[in-house]
């Protein structure tokens, strides 16, 4: 792992830093979980895409720069350092797009990727169900073959679907062969949220905003052209998505390094009033730097042809717990003022979801124990 950047990488960083300094909004955008905020974030995505900063690693035909993985991490670090807005398109560009590149047809890539990059079409996750959260393979939503029209009829319910309240398309798994074993007979579908038979019911969060929604599907027709991968092969396709979410893509080190730097500044302002928080401030900063170095190690491995594998579960547990601890320390430093300091409070409320989404940390620890450490599988379905 060589942390010395080349001349071209240094030039890339300088260009990104200059553009962000000139273009990041002076005031935070309204919450993307409100209608007005959602539109404002779409406009920001369009501005990023126009300057080819929305999806730097993508081909130029899809608004990208064909940047290397190293340059992608550089850009993410600069993006968070600049305090740029959250990405309303992140479900699409970080989770779905890598799968489209790996499993999608050329027609699907040409049809979906450009509008995803510009924010014109925003995607919602349609994974969890009322009885299928971390145990995704227990899902009950079905896909029934419609040979007459050349497609499928989707039925069922999805819940905790992020961005679904205002998004345009959804992606997720449906059981297409009920006689197959749990992890088989699943198919990965893309479907418009405005299609006939789709009902979207927003779910209010603690702050009253609808960052999630339930999706009800009743005989929703999806053509064969909107199946991602092969019918019945959905689990393998979906696990590619999960690897991206738990591993490198969604949680670049820039997010945590920038937050840790802000925490240090807060300590310099408030530390005299909270001397016992010093160790936790130092611990958060050190862990953010450790995560950064770990990420660069992952970049090196991926660039050499390796893959994320089960190590993504280690990554997921680490960053989600770091996020909670970092924000708890900030709130302790703020004391009673934390109730009116929206940036840190909002960040804390969001951090609490980290150990749950992308597969609960309890499930991730099982994966680490069984697949990385080679420990015996946990007894299941038995009285213990």
**Residues with catalytic roles:** 245
Residues β-bridged to residue 216: 157, 199
- CB of 281 within 8 A of CB of 265? no
DSSP state of 171: E
DSSP string, 110-128: HHHHHHHHHTSS-EEE---
Gap between the Cα atoms of 210 and 124, Å rounded: 13
Residues β-bridged to residue 172: 189
Q: Dihedral (C-alpha) 118, 243, 128, 97: value to the nearest 10 degrees?
A: 20
Gap between the Cα atoms of 87 and 71, Å rounded: 18
- CB of 68 within 8 A of CB of 118? no
Gap between the Cα atoms of 77 and 74, Å rounded: 5
Which one, of 179, 185, 186, lies nearest residue 127 by Cα? Answer: 186
Helix (H, G, I), strand (E, B) or coil at 37: helix
Gap between the Cα atoms of 241 and 359, Å rounded: 12
DSSP state of 339: G
- CB of 129 within 8 A of CB of 156? yes
User: Nearest 5 degrees, angle CA 348-CA 312-CA 212?
Assistant: 45
- Quick one: 48 exposed, middle or buried, by C-beta within 10 A (0-12, 13-18, 19+)? buried
What's the token pair of residue 252? 């670049």
Gap between the Cα atoms of 235 and 166, Å rounded: 27
Gap between the Cα atoms of 67 and 371, Å rounded: 32
């Amino acid at each position: 792992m060589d942390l010395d950047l080349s001349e071209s990488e240094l030039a890339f960083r300088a260009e990104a830093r200059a553009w962000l300094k000139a273009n990041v909004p002076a005031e935070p955008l309204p919450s993307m979980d409100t209608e007005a905020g959602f539109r404002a974030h779409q406009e920001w995505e369009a501005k990023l895409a126009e300057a080819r900063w929305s999806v730097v690693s993508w081909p130029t035909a899809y608004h990208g720069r064909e940047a290397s993985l190293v340059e992608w991490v550089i850009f993410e670090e600069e993006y968070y350092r600049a305090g740029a807005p959250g990405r309303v398109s992140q479900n699409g560009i970080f989770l779905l797009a890598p799968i489209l590149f790996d499993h999608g047809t050329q027609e699907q890539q040409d049809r979906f990727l450009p509008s995803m990059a510009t924010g014109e079409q925003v995607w919602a996750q349609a994974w969890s169900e009322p009885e299928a959260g971390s145990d995704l393979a227990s899902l009950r939503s079905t896909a029934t073959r419609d040979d007459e029209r050349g497609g499928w009829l989707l039925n069922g319910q999805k819940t905790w679907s992020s961005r679904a309240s205002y998004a345009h398309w959804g992606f997720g798994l449906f059981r297409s062969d009920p006689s197959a074993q749990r992890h088989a007979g699943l198919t990965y579908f893309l479907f418009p949220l405005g299609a006939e038979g789709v009902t979207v019911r927003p779910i209010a969060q603690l702050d009253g905003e609808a960052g999630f929604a339930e999706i009800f599907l009743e005989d929703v027709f999806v053509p064969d052209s909107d199946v991602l991968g092969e019918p019945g092969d959905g689990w393998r396709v979906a696990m590619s998505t999960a690897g991206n979410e738990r591993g490198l893509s969604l949680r670049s080190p820039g997010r945590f390094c920038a937050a840790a730097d802000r925490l240090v500044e807060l300590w310099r302002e408030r530390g005299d009033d909270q001397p016992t928080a010093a160790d936790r401030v130092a611990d958060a900063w050190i862990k953010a730097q450790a995560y950064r170095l770990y990420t660069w190690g992952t970049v090196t491995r991926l660039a050499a042809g390796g893959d994320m594998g089960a190590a993504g579960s280690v990554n997921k547990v680490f960053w989600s717990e770091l996020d909670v601890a970092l924000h708890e320390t900030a709130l302790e430093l703020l004391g009673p003022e934390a109730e009116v300091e929206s940036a840190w409070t909002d960040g804390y409320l969001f951090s609490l979801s980290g150990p749950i989404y992308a597969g609960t940390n309890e499930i991730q620890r099982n994966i680490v124990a069984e697949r990385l450490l080679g420990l015996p599988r946990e007894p299941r379905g038995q009285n213990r």
